[in-house]
Amino acid sequence: MKFTFAHNNFNVIDLEKSLDFYKEALGLTEVRRKEAADGSFIIVFLGDGSSRHKLELTWLRDWEKDSYDLGDDEFHLAFETDDMEAAHKKHEEMGCICFENKEMGIYFISDPDDYWIEIVPEK
């Protein structure tokens, strides 16, 4: 028996803002979309164009809070980049860097809903 990664889910408050962020910050594009017939939810899967793993963004019409409880920011996604310097510059210009560990050579960005995404150099 074998298991492979399929996707991770983030619930989002403003779907369009999140889609714009992930396209600009990480180059992710929409792969497929599922909309409830009654309009109660929209699910959008984003891909990086090279791996099978997807990021699922879920928007819920009836969510009444201004944010999601993300705990202590200890869970996150990680992305490798082939150009840390250019990536850091881009994210710095976007104002989305939320934490850096220069000793480890990594940093984190936060999306519009404050989910953390780790940026690591390609190994």
Rounded Cα distance between 33 and 13, Å, is 17
Give the active site residue among 92, 103, 118, 122. Answer: 118
> CA separation (Å) from 84 to 11, 37, 90?
28, 42, 10
**Residue 35: active-site member:** no
Pick the closest to residue 109 from 121, 47, 122, 87 (CA basis).
87
Pick the closest to residue 84 from 66, 67, 97 (CA basis).
97
As annotated, the active-site residues are: 118
